[in-house]
Amino acid sequence: MTNDAMTNDVQIYPFRIEVPQADLDDLRARLARTRWPDQLKDVGWDYGIPLDYLSELAEYWRTRYDWREHERELNAFPQFTTTIQGQRVHFLHVRSPEPDAVPLVMTHGWPGSVVEFTKVIAPLTDPRAHGGDPADAFHLVLPTIPGYGFSGPTSEPGWNVARIALAWDELMARLGYERYGAQGGDWGSSISRELGVSVPGHVIGVHLNMLLPSGGLDLPDLTDVEKRRLDRMRQFRTTGMGYGAIQSTRPQTLAYALTDSPAGQLAWIVEKFRDWTDGDLPEDAVDRDQMLTNVTLYWLTGTAGSSARLYLEAARSGAWGPPAQSTVPTGVAVFPHEIAPPVRRFAEQSNNIVHWSEFDRGGHFAAMEEPDLLVSDVRQFFRLLR
């Protein structure tokens, strides 16, 4: 893999993914030697990802999945690296053929990567070629969060949401974009929203496909829809936050297992694709190879631990506390199988909501599950601001 030296210069370097064959051979060999645990009978997914499902998926990964095919697909997008505050930052920069396109920085989350966005890049940058209005075009900047993928690992503490947002603003400035939009889900939602809080003069608007409830949760006049959504959040905090508790307190301990065992890394990520998507199995909601490309990226870059560190950094910086007020125009796309679909009147307490869409399908990984819906909603929101 080619990359720039870890310096403090402001140069931007071309980047191309070139995984050594030895790394792919090692992955297959490790999968072949997996030491599988036992499992209780007839418990399904109730205790975690089932053995029969994971072992079949691991065998598919070992024998049928073709990294080189997806490496070529990723390399079809212009990629670069630069160094910001001593940290390498990898990003895709896909300019639109439309000269008046709006610059838009889109940020992934965990357990995602820039792989999430491969289905939305073309229609967002070149709507004319995809049945859309050329006036809706964007110049896309898709950075990899520090500690993740080819931006990893981080080399010092302190890479929290606020610091990443400022790094993104610096990146956009280096690319010549003084004013731009921001979009994201999961950590990308937090980072995009933070851009609007930290540098509102640079951000024309923020579009989010995840916004966790905050404030007003105990109001006495909750509607049935609001009650269901808040109950979903409470259930998630009770039964679905184990991964977050570990990653926000002991990411280094977790890293040894996930960095040594591809089956472990696969289970850790794929379980979330099942829990957070709109389907009985992950493949019901997302393309299996796209999901495995995402997992493979974590494995090949050895960033299970450094990506998890963002949870600890967020906890220590208070990022999960009451949100700061954002005055930047904000749009929210609500997908029903999100971890916790937001409630508009709660969102309006700390955000300048000017656009709100509710969909009848889709979940946490919107760009992978429902790319057409996400593209359409991003276009609609930014029409208000062009």
**Catalytic (active-site) positions:** 186, 311, 364
How would DSSP label each residue in 292-356? HHHHHHHHHHT-HHHHHHHHHHHHHHTTTSSPPP--SEEEEEE-TBSSS---HHHHTTTSEEEEE
Q: Residue 1 has which token pair? A: 């893999």
Decide: helix, strand or coil at residue 193.
helix
Q: Residue 21 has which token pair? A: 């064959």
Burial of 188 (0-12, 13-18, 19+ CB in 10 A): buried
Instruction: List the 180-184 sheet strands across, edge first.
Output: 12-15, 79-84, 87-94, 138-143, 102-107, 180-184, 203-208, 329-334, 352-358
Answer yes or no: are the C-beta atoms of 284 and 277 closer than 8 Å.
Answer: yes
**Amino acid occupying residue 146:** P
Cis amide prior to 153 (ω within 30 degrees): yes
**In Å, how far are 18, 19, 20, 142, 150 from 2, measured between CA atoms?**
7, 10, 11, 18, 10
